[in-house]
């Protein structure tokens, strides 16, 4: 009798069974669908930031916190007061384009759609200033 026995549950390539192959295939199909959807969101977010002239503005989340990343790749959110006081440790504040680049080209957040959504909310300082001017001009009017 041979010392080399191939289990009936494992083929010579190391795969468990045809059902395992099917499960892996379906899992891969699901990841491809997510990646396609994320690519569409990324393209929309990039176009919105580009049209808003906000690619180089600091990344701000929907609650008004700035998004930073430390050298280890950890993300954190900071208030303007924390940044002004230097209470951010080793974190570096990110621009919208850096946030999208990290999302698209690193393994730090490969399936994190929240990163894209946060970046898509980006607007430029010019837009903020224009809005403030319009509000101020509207004070005291009947509009």
Q: 6 lies in a domain?
A: no
pTM for the model: 0.60
Q: 74 lies in a domain?
A: yes
Q: 141 lies in a domain?
A: no
* Helix then strand then coil, % of the chain, to nearest 5: 50, 10, 40
Q: 3 lies in a domain?
A: no
Query: How many domains does the structure of the chain reveal?
Result: 1
Q: 72 lies in a domain?
A: yes
What order do you get walking across the sheet with 66-69 strand by strand? 75-78, 66-69, 92-93
Percent of the chain with pLDDT over 70: 69
Alpha carbons 82 and 64: distance in angstroms, whole number: 13
24: pLDDT strictly greater than 70: yes
Q: What is the CA 51 to chain-centroid distance, rounded?
A: 19
Domain hosting 78: range is: 18-134
117: pLDDT strictly greater than 70: no
- Total residues found in the chain within this entry: 143
* DSSP summary character for residue 65: P
Q: 27 lies in a domain?
A: yes
Alpha carbons 42 and 21: distance in angstroms, whole number: 31
Q: 13 lies in a domain?
A: no
For the stretch 46-96, pLDDT in tens is 888 888 888 888 888 878 889 899 999 888 999 999 999 999 999 999 998
20: pLDDT strictly greater than 50: yes
Q: 2 lies in a domain?
A: no
What SS3 class is residue 45?
helix
Between the two ends of the chain, the Cα-to-Cα distance in Å is 94
């Amino acid at each position: 009798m041979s010392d080399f026995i191939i289990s009936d549950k494992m083929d010579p390539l190391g795969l468990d069974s045809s059902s395992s192959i099917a499960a892996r295939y379906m899992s891969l199909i699901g990841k491809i669908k997510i990646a396609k959807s994320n690519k569409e969101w990324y393209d929309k977010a990039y176009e919105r930031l580009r049209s808003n002239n906000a690619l180089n503005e600091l990344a701000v989340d929907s609650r008004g916190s700035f998004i930073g990343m430390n050298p280890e790749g950890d993300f954190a959110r900071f208030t303007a007061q924390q940044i002004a006081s230097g209470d951010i440790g080793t974190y570096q504040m990110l621009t919208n384009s850096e946030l999208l680049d990290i999302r698209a080209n690193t393994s730090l957040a490969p399936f994190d759609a929240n990163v894209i959504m946060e970046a898509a909310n980006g607007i430029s300082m010019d837009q903020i200033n224009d809005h403030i001017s319009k509000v101020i001009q509207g004070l005291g009017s009947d509009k």
